[in-house]
Copies of this chain bind each other. A is one copy, B any other.
């Protein structure tokens, strides 16, 4: 039996092809019949040819679905359960998972990369299902829930790292919480969403971003900057916008150099966190915040397409004509 799947064959070369129905291979595996699969911004890196990778794998790491089979050692989900998946797998058994570093699980696989086939397909095989699938909360519909695979918990982690740095126990005098939040983007549509949620939109290339930040902070610069996109220019801007003793929280995937020297870092007294978010470790906390605020995200998805139109979905997203694309097998 075969399934329809979205396969990348090279930059700008997305094809929907027949692939074999995935089957349980290891005791910790589960098979999920995919209900919806999102296209993530990080998938634009290989799509645009900006990331070194091999091709030929099934794309996708944001998804919801129904469990159709489980391996003998899976305990947290069962056949028939409605679930959502996380963008990378976590075994929950290794030293790193046990410390909460589920982002660097020793068995971790990033779905939809050369490491393992992804979820933009009718079915997906999920290794280490106990750490990689979560039961779906009944009150959240599929296309919204797909945001919990990566972008919401990753963004939440990026923000919480920034806030926790500014409230770290050694410097107890520092003001807690967030005041003014500026959102920098190039896409008008996303900026409008940011504004609707209470952020102050700043349009890259048009607005004077540094002037706005300096004006809001009596000339000091931002207390914290969250870099979400994995782009050297964004990281450079984030560093530049920070005040001294500010925190740079970077959750984007970077392939370049760091845009500041050790001297600049010393002079800015910077603190920094970089890398993949430990979404499994923070999932319960992030999900609670998401469920409480679900009404704010009803506009999140702009395009819903059948899986067969995946190539169009990638192109719309890459050319910034879509805010968020959901594929339905």
A-side residues, CB < 8 A to B, are 95-96, 98-101, 103-104, 157, 160-161, 164, 168-175, 218, 220, 230, 232, 235, 244-245, 250, 253-263, 265-276, 278, 281-282
Do B266 and A220 have beta carbons less than 8 Å apart? no
- A266 proximity list for chain B (CB < 8 A): 230, 250, 253-254, 274-276
Bound together, the chains give a CA A111 to CA B282 distance in angstroms of 45
In the bound assembly, the distance between CA atoms of A174 and B98 in angstroms comes to 8
Chain B CB count within 10 A is highest, among A100, A157, A232, A245, for A245
Which B residue sits closest to A156, measured CB to CB?
B170
Inter-chain contacts of A257 with B (CB < 8 A) = 261-262
What is the count of identical protomers in the complex? 2
What distance in Å separates the Cβ of A254 from its nearest Cβ neighbour in chain B?
Answer: 4
A329 to chain B, nearest CB (A): 31
| A100 and B173 contacting across the interface, CB-CB below 8 Å | yes
Cβ of B278 and Cβ of A171 under 8 Å apart? yes
- Let me know if A171 and B281 touch, CB within 8 A: yes
Query: Is B256 in contact with A265, judged by CB distance below 8 angstroms?
Result: no
Establish whether residues B281 and A274, one from each chain, have CB atoms under 8 Å apart when the complex forms: no
CB of B172 within 8 A of CB of A168, answer no
- Output the nearest chain B residue to A269 by Cβ-Cβ distance: B275
B244 touching A101, Cβ below 8 Å: yes
**Is the pair B275, A268 in contact by a Cβ cutoff of 8 Å?**
yes
Q: Given B100, B174, B218, B235, which contacts A174 in the complex, CB threshold below 8 Å?
A: B100
Contacts A100-B174, A170-B282, A171-B278; A263 near B255 (Cβ below 8 A): yes
Whose C-beta in chain B lies nearest to the C-beta of A99? B174
Q: Which of A168, A170, A261, A281 has the most chain B CB atoms closer than 10 A to its own CB?
A: A170
Q: Is the CB of B274 within 8 A of A269?
A: yes
Taking CB atoms, residues of chain B closer than 8 Å to A173 are 98-100, 281
Shortest Cβ distance from A28 into chain B, in angstroms? 21
Tell me the smallest distance from the CB of A178 to a CB of chain B, in Å.
15
For residue A152, give the distance in angstroms from its CB to the closest CB of chain B.
15
Q: Is the CB of A100 within 8 A of B269?
A: no
Q: Which of the listed residues A99, A161, A232, A262 has the most CB atoms from chain B within 10 Å of its own CB?
A: A262
Identify 14 residue pairs between A and B in the complex whose beta-carbon atoms are under 8 Å apart, listed by A's number: A98-B173, A100-B174, A103-B269, A104-B245, A161-B170, A164-B169, A253-B266, A258-B261, A258-B262, A262-B274, A267-B275, A271-B273, A271-B274, A272-B274
- In the docked arrangement, what's the CA distance between A103 and B246, Å? 12
A214 to chain B minimum Cβ distance, whole angstroms, is: 14
Asked if B260 contacts A258 (CB within 8 A), the reply is yes
B residues in contact with A263, CB < 8 Å: 254-256
Verify B262–A255 contact, CB threshold 8 A: yes
User: Which residues of chain B are near A282, meaning CB under 8 Å?
Assistant: 170
